Amino acid sequence: MTATADILVVGGGIAGVSAAAELAREAKVILLEGENALGFHSSGRSAAMLHYALGNPLVRKLTQASRDHFASPPDGFEKLAEPRALLIFAREDELDGLATLRADLAPFAEIEDLDEAGLHQLCPALRIGGDDAVAGFADHGALRLDPHALLYGYAGWLRRRSGTIASDARVATIARQGSGWVVTTERGERFTAPLLVNAGGAWADHIAALAGVRSIRLEPRRRTIITFDPPEGLDGRDWPFAKTVGDELYFAPEGGRLFASPIDEVPTDACDSQADEHEVALAAARVEERTLLKVQRVVHRWAGLRSFSPDRMPVVGFDPDDPAFLWLAGQGGFGIQTAPVMARIAAALVSGTGWPVASVTPDELRPGRFR
């Protein structure tokens, strides 16, 4: 049996599901996911934040254009976010970096400058004064996201628009059929469509290779998160998402616990990423170095892949050598918070209708910039 659609979307992470849902407004879409659940890889392993210290100026614009979707979810979505301030803190030797970051974020963020007393008030767990944090700023517009609700909201849109989700459908071959594609999965199912959307996350270059399309040189990088209990009697639930100016440590409340990351970026192959003992130990050590907290026991640990294009900006657009192949890749560490607008861009490119974000041009995102 061969299933036929207008568009095949490969990848059931947030990129693929959100794009499939937007594309299904005007086309028959089949989404193919290799795992037996959506969001099993990067999209289910994130720190679930929306804040403007992630990524570069282009990413900030894409984040800004997506923010409304989280703050005021459209019909069919449950609550997607709650306020969670971002706190950036700095030692004396990091003050130049703090000023630069503050200036970068100022056009987007609701900034409050913080001295030592202000830092203590917002996050009493920080080591403050002397050789420790002496200044910082908060962005009160940052949000803690619910990626699961985002993913399943889009999946609901896709189904209501007569789209199909095929899970446990790992794409094994992609061959030409006329000007379109015939795709087979490892289990032998066949799908055909004139257009293929590559939302394969860390595997996007691999999917391109299956289709005979040249790589855009994506680099998957591992990031680790640990959770641990706060000290008895200490309630950190109102603490911000706190981050060093440099890429050293972030930590934040998570339910009744705390989570932390050493902000690692270890290059790796596309895989089911697992936490490495070295990064787990580093996370705990940095928590103790920059805060008054003790990590008595790591309750939970996980790792996920953040996949970057060579210029660390996301990629959406038709392959320059193959107009039947649309890239939606390179979402790095900002793929949740930019998903709504990236999905609308993918749909606008396919339908040829209005470009949805005035502050960004198609050229800045097109895959051809790496050829």
Ligand X SMILES: Cc1cc2nc3c(=O)[nH]c(=O)nc-3n(C[C@H](O)[C@H](O)[C@H](O)COP(=O)(O)OP(=O)(O)OC[C@H]3O[C@@H](n4cnc5c(N)ncnc54)[C@H](O)[C@@H]3O)c2cc1C
Nearer to ligand X, 91 or 306 (CB): 306
The backbone torsions φ and ψ at residue 15, rounded to the nearest 5 degrees and listed phi first, read -65, -50
Please report the beta strands in 45-117, taking only residues with DSSP state E, as ranges in sequence order: 49-50, 81-83, 86-90, 111-114
Nearer to ligand X, 39 or 91 (CB): 39
Of 123-142, binders to ligand X (CB under 6 A) are none
User: 20: exposed, middle or buried (C-beta count within 10 Å: 0-12, 13-18, 19+)?
Assistant: buried
Indicate the SS3 state at residue 337: coil
Which one, of 199, 200, 196, lies nearest residue 179 by Cα? 196
**Does 12 interact with ligand X (rule: CB under 6 A)?**
yes
CA atoms within 13 A on the CB side of 259: 17
Query: Binding string to ligand X for residues 208 to 247, with x set by CB under 6 A, is what?
Result: ---------------x-x----------------------
Residue in 8, 9, 14, 196 binding ligand X, rule: CB under 6 A: 14
Residue 334 interacts with ligand X (CB under 6 A): yes or no: yes
For β-strands 7-10 and 195-198, DSSP reports them as parallel
8 binds ligand X (CB under 6 A): no
The smaller minimum CB distance to ligand X, of residues 123 and 202, is found at 202
- Work out how close the CB of 233 gets to ligand X at its nearest, in angstroms, rounded to a whole number: 29
Contacting ligand X within 139-198 (CB under 6 A): 170-171
From the list 80, 199, 216, 260, which residue makes contact with ligand X (rule: CB under 6 A)?
199
> Between 132 and 254, whose beta carbon lies closer to ligand X?
254
Which residues between 240 and 279 bind ligand X (CB under 6 A)?
A: none
Looking at the Cβ atoms of 98 and 143, the one nearer to ligand X is: 143
Among 70, 89, 203, 325, binds ligand X (CB under 6 A): 203
Residue 223 CB, shortest distance to ligand X, in Å, is 4
Please state, in angstroms and as integers, the Cα–Cα distance from residue 346 to each residue in 16, 40, 167, 236, following that order: 10, 22, 22, 40
Q: Residue 13 in contact with residue 201, Cβ under 8 Å?
A: yes
Nearer to ligand X, 151 or 295 (CB): 151
Range in contact with ligand X (rule: CB under 6 A) among 9-17, 72-80, 122-130, 245-253: 9-17
Q: Among 73, 136, 163, 201, which residue sits at the site for ligand X (rule: CB under 6 A)?
A: 201
Nearest Cα residue to 242 out of 89, 63, 54, 81: 89
The region of 8-16, 114-122, 340-348, 351-359 touching ligand X under the rule CB under 6 A is 8-16
Instruction: Report in angstroms the alpha-carbon separations of 226 from 111, 127, 142, 202.
Output: 28, 20, 22, 22
Min CB(131)–ligand X separation in Å: 29
> Tokens 């641990």 identify what position?
228
Whether residue 143 contacts residue 340, with contact meaning beta carbons closer than 8 Å, is answered with: no
In the stretch 15-34, what mask flags binding to ligand X with x, by CB under 6 A?
xx---------------xxx
Contact stretch for ligand X (CB under 6 A) within 96-104, 211-219, 332-340, 363-371: 332-340
Q: Is 41 in the site for ligand X (CB under 6 A)?
A: yes
Beta-carbon-side half-sphere exposure of residue 304 (alpha carbons within 13 Å)? 21
CA distance 344 to 199: 14
- Rounded distance, CA 355 to CA 310, Å? 24
3-state secondary structure of 115: coil
How far is the C-alpha of 71 from the C-alpha of 76, rounded, in Å? Answer: 14
Q: What does the binding site for ligand X look like in residue numbers (CB under 6 A)?
A: 10-16, 32-35, 39-43, 45-49, 170-171, 199-203, 207, 223, 225, 304-306, 331-337
